[in-house]
Amino acid sequence: MFSPTVRASLSSVVILCASAAWVQAKPESAETVLDHSLHELMQIAESNKGATPAQLAKKARPLLERLFNFESLTKRAVGPGWRELSAEQQQQAVTLFSEILIRSYAARFDWHNKLDIQFAPPVDVGGGHSEVAAVSRYAGNVIHVLYRMESSGSAWRVYDVVVEGVSMASNYRTQFDAIRQRGGGEALLKSMKENLN
Amino acid sequence: MLTRSRLPGAQATLCATLLLGITLPALAGSGVRPPRPAPELTSPRPTTDPDDEFSTASDNRPKTSDPLEVLNRGIFAFNHQVYRFLLRPLARATEAVIPKPVLTRIGYVFDNFETPVRVVSSLLQANFSRAGKETGKLLINSTVGLGGLMRPSDHFACLADVPDEDVGQAFGKWGIPQGPYVVLPILGPSSLRDLPGKAADSALNPTIWVGSNAVRYSLTGTRNVLLNPGRIKAYDLARDGALDQYLAIRESYLSYRAEAVRR
């Protein structure tokens, strides 16, 4: 029915399509997710040079919301006090905390220094969690970073960043604890709102 | 910017900045990756298990010793005003006069000059390999690197990522606990263990050995003025995202120092 040449061509097309579908279906490793996301962030920054922090935050927000599991990060930052918050307060805490982090990111972008970052292969720490170590050179300094990630559906998302031994979730937990112990969940939410104003 | 000199307080502030600013890409404007030897990728192991940390039922983190918190907060507030009205304007003036690449290079020179602090600290920990690497860096950067203006040692994988050492870290290796947290006027975060460590670092710093008093004061003053913009920038950046700036910087400092001792 088909000549050998046509059959060969059809077979190639079928194989290519099948391969493409397989590649698309295969979830990215934690390291690849990080690598791609950080490069995408840099591209966003590069194409928005001179943008105000608010503009940059708006542009970067979708990517940051994809890369970070802000709900998980907020739970860890609030720690034992999480259960004392009502469902509504918990939702508010996630929204406010993610806003604080995204705004901080945008406000602190340094256009003048180049980032050189190398990732180690992810280490499976069990329970759907992985850790990706990275070494970065920034402004003449060598900085060690550990990205803690969890498998969220089909994708890896960051739930904590440890820079030179300093955990973001742990650092915020110390602050949140002190505020919560003084005035409870309401005081914590109020403090977050004040930070954003 | 900060150099890899003995500035644990400023480095801890930088850590706070990095954390509060989410992560490293927030500090970089370009993804250019120059070819470099792969540095040692040793994971900074988590201080707590992720599952434990995720658990909201208990909090097993070690308690911070801060019996002087009231006094510390007062000094922290005083430092803030000093930074605001004195050091920040000085930093702006420095950056207006001296181009950033020049500032960085001069920072490298001081960093190179302070090698004895790192060598002796390594020897105090019986870490002869690290002391040798520091000596190797000194030789290469002082000769090929034109007195430390450049860092050709970074092109050697074994010398590209030598962790900084100081006497306070040696005390930590000996098993001396961190002790209460202390905030020093102008200098910032420290601890009972790091106070004598800082004094020893100063004694080992060649900038206080050379020449007359005038030369020594000039060198120390120049060093502090040149490093000041990086310190102020890190401090300013850390302020935005923190709900309690004092606690944010305290925890960053103590965690950073614990990690430095471990590494």
Q: One-letter amino acid identity for A54?
A: A
Write down the ipTM of this complex: 0.81
Count Cβ atoms within 10 A of the Cβ of residue B43 and give its class: 0-12 exposed, 13-18 middle, 19 or more buried. Answer: middle
CATH 3.40.720.10 assigned to domain A30-196? The reply is no
Domains of chain A by residue range: 30-196
Flag whether B47 is in a domain.
no
Q: Which residues in chain A touch residue B3, judged by CB atoms under 8 angstroms apart?
A: 140-141
Size of interface A-B (CB pairs under 8 A): 258
Flag whether B49 is in a domain.
no
Q: Which residues in chain B touch residue A78, judged by CB atoms under 8 angstroms apart?
A: 56
Tens digit of each residue's pLDDT (9 = 90 or more) over A87-137 = 999 999 999 999 999 988 887 776 566 667 889 999 999 888 999 999 887
- Contact map slice: A 12-31 vs B, CB within 8 A: none
pLDDT for B152 equals 92
Tens digit of each residue's pLDDT (9 = 90 or more) over B211-242 = 788 888 888 888 888 888 888 877 776 677 89
pLDDT for A50 equals 80
Q: Which of A45, A101, A137 sits opposite B29 (nearest CB)?
A: A45
A133 and B260 in contact by Cβ < 8 A?
A: no
Task: Report yes or no: A111 at the B interface, CB cutoff 8 Å.
Answer: yes
| pLDDT classification of B103: cutoffs 50, 70, 90 | confident
Other CB atoms within 10 Å distance of the CB of residue B37? 12
| pLDDT classification of A152: cutoffs 50, 70, 90 | confident
A113 and B29 in contact by Cβ < 8 A?
A: yes
Domains identified in chain B, total number: 1
pLDDT for B183 equals 96
Q: Which residues in chain A touch residue B19, judged by CB atoms under 8 angstroms apart?
A: 161, 163, 166-168, 171
Cα separation, A149 vs A154, whole angstroms: 13
- Domain range for B107 is 8-22+66-262
Flag whether B31 is in a domain.
no
Strand runs (DSSP E) across chain A, as ranges? Answer: 115-119, 123-126, 129-138, 141-152, 155-163, 166-167
Tens digit of each residue's pLDDT (9 = 90 or more) over B163-199 = 889 999 999 999 999 999 999 999 899 999 999 999 9
Flag whether B59 is in a domain.
no
pLDDT for B242 equals 92
Buried b / exposed e across B60-80, counting CB within 10 Å, b at 16+? ebeeeebeebeebbebbeebe
Flag whether B228 is in a domain.
yes
